[in-house]
Chains A and B, each alone.
Chain A
């Protein structure tokens, strides 16, 4: 078992968004989170990644997570390779070639990240996941601004990651073409009467 969430409640800005979220994620498994905008998908992913405190319930398992949010964490004045090398060094790995290859970035390797298109930037942001060497990928709308070919590249990367014993937790609105992935629809778990979160943000 890589990750287990038990009756998890998450809150953002002092308002509880989701209640009683439970799921398990084991090796080689992908879980896709669905739900309308504003439901709390991003908050759930940030909570699982440890960026936000758990309101109620618990998250157990893998703490070494590779998180990819809405922003790619790229520096416009560094080249594609410099950006990737930096993240590889931070995560203690060194081989960036498979990542460049996996996301078709070989041609762009010496370009400044600032000169890339939105889709190319996203591809570079996702390539970063491959240099982290971490087992659990937590992805927040990974396919935004990707074309169909790039979505396929991404789906391949996820499949390879799963095949090597990894796991992925994703929030997305489109069909990724990963049939083996399970789907968790959060629409039912929405907090109907918005209540104020009990925890005082300043003291957590």
Chain B
């Protein structure tokens, strides 16, 4: 299991591994928004938490199809399915690898990019916390979507269509935590719901993803 995680991290940072793709997309989105909306700081401050969340969500989406497609093409997935590691565990490790390489950089970069959107001082902490709690759900749900569409050539569009509706609750509560935090309101309720979504997804979806993978490998 650890070996699989190390391999996936190593593959991500080597040439062509796609590391930094999501991060640069996130950077581009947040840099462009102030140009599009205009330099009025009041308006920017108001929409900053939402923009940061949408940017992070779309950046996560970019790298989802790589989770299983490459392993499927080179036959590793067949071999992993016949290996002594449980497929559920392998799926979870893949989701963790995706989170570490695609989502964690976004979580770290989001507060910095908040400056560009004149995010209120209160908001930095909550943008960071909400993304830290919410992005695991994005990675696990995305892994499930990737398992559903593995084997479909150019399945990226289908994957996005499948996954986006599932991302909506995470986005609603995540952005709500960030917005309330930025405005100095109480954040407990959306924060707990966000954490609940992440924990629920982590507990159930690896099993669902492994089941559909077995079916798709036939």
Enumerate chain A interface residues (CB-CB to B < 8 A).
Answer: 46, 49-53, 64-75, 77-78, 82, 85-87, 89-92, 128, 201-202, 204
Q: Find out whether the CB atom of A75 lies under 8 angstroms from the CB atom of B75.
A: no
Q: What does DSSP make chain A's interface, helix, strand, loop or mixed?
A: loop
Q: Is B215 an interface residue (CB 8 A)?
A: yes
Q: Find out whether the CB atom of A91 lies under 8 angstroms from the CB atom of B84.
A: yes
Q: Is B14 an interface residue (CB 8 A)?
A: yes
Q: Is B24 an interface residue (CB 8 A)?
A: no
In the assembled complex, the CB of B70 is this many whole angstroms from the nearest CB of chain A, namely 8
Contact with A along B1-36 (1 / 0, CB 8 A): 011100100110011110000000000000000000
Closest 5 pairs between A and B when the two form their complex, measured CB to CB: A71-B75, A89-B3, A77-B14, A73-B76, A73-B75
Task: Specify the chain A residue showing the minimal Cβ separation from B73.
Answer: A71
Q: Which of B7, B10, B17, B81 has the most CB of A within 10 A?
A: B7
Task: Specify the chain B residue showing the minimal Cβ separation from A47.
Answer: B218
Q: Is B186 an interface residue (CB 8 A)?
A: no
Task: Specify the chain B residue showing the minimal Cβ separation from A67.
Answer: B82
Q: Find out whether the CB atom of A90 lies under 8 angstroms from the CB atom of B80.
A: yes
Contacts of A52 in B (CB 8 A): 218
Q: Is B185 an interface residue (CB 8 A)?
A: no
Subset of 6 A-B contacts with CB under 8 Å = A46-B218, A52-B218, A71-B74, A85-B3, A90-B80, A92-B84
Partner of A77, one of B11, B73, B80, B83: B11
* Cα-based distance from A69 to B217 in the complex (angstroms): 13
Q: Is B85 an interface residue (CB 8 A)?
A: yes
Q: Is B172 an interface residue (CB 8 A)?
A: no
User: Given the interface contacts A82-B10, A89-B3, does A64 sit within 8 Å of B75 by beta carbon?
Assistant: no
Counted as pairs of residues, one from A and one from B, with CB atoms less than 8 Å apart, the total is 71
Contacts of A74 in B (CB 8 A): 74, 76
User: Given the interface contacts A52-B218, A90-B85, does A78 sit within 8 Å of B3 by beta carbon?
Assistant: no
Q: Is B88 an interface residue (CB 8 A)?
A: no
Contacts of B74 in A (CB 8 A): 71-75
Contacts of B81 in A (CB 8 A): 50-51
Q: Find out whether the CB atom of B78 lies under 8 angstroms from the CB atom of A69.
A: yes
Contacts of A85 in B (CB 8 A): 3
In the assembled complex, the CB of A197 is this many whole angstroms from the nearest CB of chain B, namely 11
Partner of B3, one of A67, A68, A86, A204: A86
Contacts of B108 in A (CB 8 A): none
Q: Find out whether the CB atom of A77 lies under 8 angstroms from the CB atom of B16.
A: yes
In the assembled complex, the CB of B81 is this many whole angstroms from the nearest CB of chain A, namely 6
Contacts of A67 in B (CB 8 A): 78-79, 82
* Cα-based distance from A158 to B124 in the complex (angstroms): 61
Q: Find out whether the CB atom of B10 lies under 8 angstroms from the CB atom of A78.
A: yes
Q: Find out whether the CB atom of B3 lies under 8 angstroms from the CB atom of A90.
A: yes
User: Given the interface contacts A89-B3, A90-B85, A91-B84, does A69 sit within 8 Å of B75 by beta carbon?
Assistant: yes
Task: Specify the chain B residue showing the minimal Cβ separation from A50.
Answer: B82
Contacts of B217 in A (CB 8 A): 51
Contacts of B17 in A (CB 8 A): 77
Q: Find out whether the CB atom of B4 lies under 8 angstroms from the CB atom of A49.
A: no
User: Given the interface contacts A51-B78, A82-B10, does A90 sit within 8 Å of B84 by beta carbon?
Assistant: yes
* Cα-based distance from A65 to B82 in the complex (angstroms): 7
Q: Find out whether the CB atom of B76 lies under 8 angstroms from the CB atom of A201.
A: no
Contact with A along B53-81 (1 / 0, CB 8 A): 00000000000000000000111101111
* Cα-based distance from A92 to B4 in the complex (angstroms): 12
Task: Specify the chain A residue showing the minimal Cβ separation from B82.
Answer: A67
In the assembled complex, the CB of A91 is this many whole angstroms from the nearest CB of chain B, namely 6
Partner of A86, one of B7, B73, B215, B218: B7
* Cα-based distance from A82 to B3 in the complex (angstroms): 10
Partner of B78, one of A71, A75, A90, A92: A71
User: Given the interface contacts A51-B78, A52-B218, A202-B215, does A78 sit within 8 Å of B84 by beta carbon?
Assistant: no
Contacts of B73 in A (CB 8 A): 71
Which residues 79-115 in B have Cβ within 8 Å of A in the complex?
A: 79-85
